[in-house]
Amino acid sequence: MIFFFGTRSSTLLTDKLADTNCVYCNERDTVYITVISGYFHIFWIPVFPTGKQYYSHCLHCKQTLSRYQMPVTYQNGLSEISQRTKTPIWQFIGLMLIAIPILFGIIAVIFAK
C-alpha cells in the first residue's frame, strides 16, 4: 500500500507594517509581514501544524527577511501581528478524524457493560 505524506504550508496573513521605513531602500509604508503556517499531511489531509514562519518583504526594493534577520524596527509590528495570527482549526482535521472513531469506540465499550 502506498502512503502519501509530507509537509505543506499555507499563507495565513499578509499585513503592512504601518509607519515603517524599509531598512534597505528607506521607502515609507512599503514593508509587509507574511505569516506562513506549515503542517504535516497524510493523503493531503492536514493532520497537525508544524509551526509558523514570519517574513518581511518590501514592495519597492523586493528585499525579503526572515524573522531572525529583521531589524528592531520591524520586531514591534511583528510581535503584534504574531499575537493576532492564530493556527487555523482546519490544520487539525486529520487528528479529529482519528480521534472521533476512538472516542465512539470508548463510549460503546462503556455503555455495552
pLDDT tens per residue across all 113 residues of the chain: 787 889 999 999 999 988 889 988 998 989 999 999 999 998 889 999 999 999 999 999 999 999 999 988 888 888 888 888 999 998 999 999 999 999 999 998 988 87
Q: Can you tell me the distance from the alpha carbon of 76 to that of 17, in angstroms, rounded to the nearest whole number? A: 9
Distances (CA, A) of 28 to 22, 35, 41: 7, 21, 40
Ramachandran area for residue 75 (φ above 0: left; ψ -120 to 50: alpha; else beta): alpha
Angle at alpha carbon of residue 94, lines to 97 and 90, rounded to 5°: 110
Angle at alpha carbon of residue 85, lines to 79 and 90, rounded to 5°: 155
Residue 52 lies in domain:
5-112
3-state percent breakdown (helix, strand, coil) of the chain, nearest 5 = 35, 40, 25
Q: Please count the structural domains in the chain.
A: 1
Q: 33 near 56, Cβ under 8 Å?
A: yes
Tell me the pTM. 0.81
36: nearest Cα among 75, 87, 93: 87
